[in-house]
Amino acid sequence: MLHRNKVYGESRIIREWYRENKRDLPWRRTKDPYLIWVSEIILQQTRIVQGLGYYNRFVSRFPNVKSLAEAEQQEVLKYWQGLGYYSRARNLHEAAKDIMLRYQGIFPGQYQDILTLKGVGEYTAAAIVSFVWNRPYPVIDGNVYRVLGRLFAVATPMDTGKGKKEYRELAALLMPPNHAGVHNQAIMEFGALQCTPQNPDCERCPLSAGCLGYASGNPQQYPVKQNKTKTRDRYLNYFFVTCDSYTYLHRRAGRDIWEGLYEFPLIETAACMDFAELKGEKAFNELFRGTGEPVISLAANGVKHVLSHQILHATFYRVDVQIENVALKKYLKIPLSALDEYPFPRLISAQSIFPVLPRET
């Protein structure tokens, strides 16, 4: 077992580094658990550079639990548009309503109570209670895994039960209880800025003298991973259909990607198809039969969108129809001028081929 004086010394080095190098971020200037909660959920799957603007806009519109709980889900998703992993926004919304119901709108102060909120795991609960109340719960995110894995040359794969247990023990050992909040923020920032995934600047690292990964000559081999994420390809053919000054939308449901977001009529195929092949599909004929003589043009193809477990290959078509057929009547019909009111997946909203769509800033 490592001596606590040694590991507390390592923590002191990291905290001193943090005081000199930390980024000035709005959630580091507050002790409001709601604001810290929102920031942690945003940063779960989003880099700070990208997430900062979204955070500022989100908390400007939803500054507290009550305002978030009382909002419609569609508006919450609209403010989340472009961040991806939309289940985070849905869970935030549901958890806010839960806090209003169970805690009268007061964010719970106990670790175990915070864990019961939808979408909150051990990492987020630990971050909130340590940042706000300096409670001794260690946080372990990707940055922390990397720092610990290299500092102690952990050979156990981080994505195994044994590995997770070992990392939890190391994180708890390294964290001085009286400085829990600052330590947790410091070690995450250290991993983000100093102990980076690729080409870490070990020569100027304040921990290099005691870093076993550096001593091994190949610190980038840590943390060790056992399994690689399997991905699958999906082929999406979207149709931006207009009839007079209207267009047609579908709201995604179920347990698939983008639940609650809107999209244009879609035909998903098992493989990439050119237009001649697509015209032969039963779904295509059902969608456009009886629409007069639709004018169809290719707007964009080869659009690739990478998710955590899926690679999406999208093709976009413009379609102008004269007659609204039975198939189109099953979609939500809206004025073109109202498109800005609906939340879309980034795959769609980022396409400049639809100038009437909301643009990400």
Among 98, 86, 188, smallest CA distance to 140 is for 188
Q: One-letter amino acid identity for 30?
A: T
Query: Cis (ω within 30 of 0) for the bond into 223?
Result: yes
Residue 73, phi then psi, degrees to nearest 5? -60, -35
Exposure b/e, 156-181, CB count within 10 A at least 16 = b:
bbbeeeebeebbeebbebbbbeebbb
Tell me the C-alpha distance between 188 and 197, whole Å: 13
The residue among 50, 15, 319, 303 whose CA lies nearest residue 184 is 15
Query: Position 311: which residue type?
Result: I
Q: Which residues pair with 312 in a beta bridge?
A: 234, 305
Closest to 239 measured CA to CA, from 258, 268, 266: 266
| Cα 128 to Cα 139: distance, rounded to the nearest angstrom | 10
Q: Which residue numbers are catalytic? A: 40
- By CB atoms closer than 10 A (0-12, 13-18, 19+), residue 247 is buried
Query: What is the signed CA dihedral for 345, 231, 87, 246, rounded to 10 degrees?
Result: 20
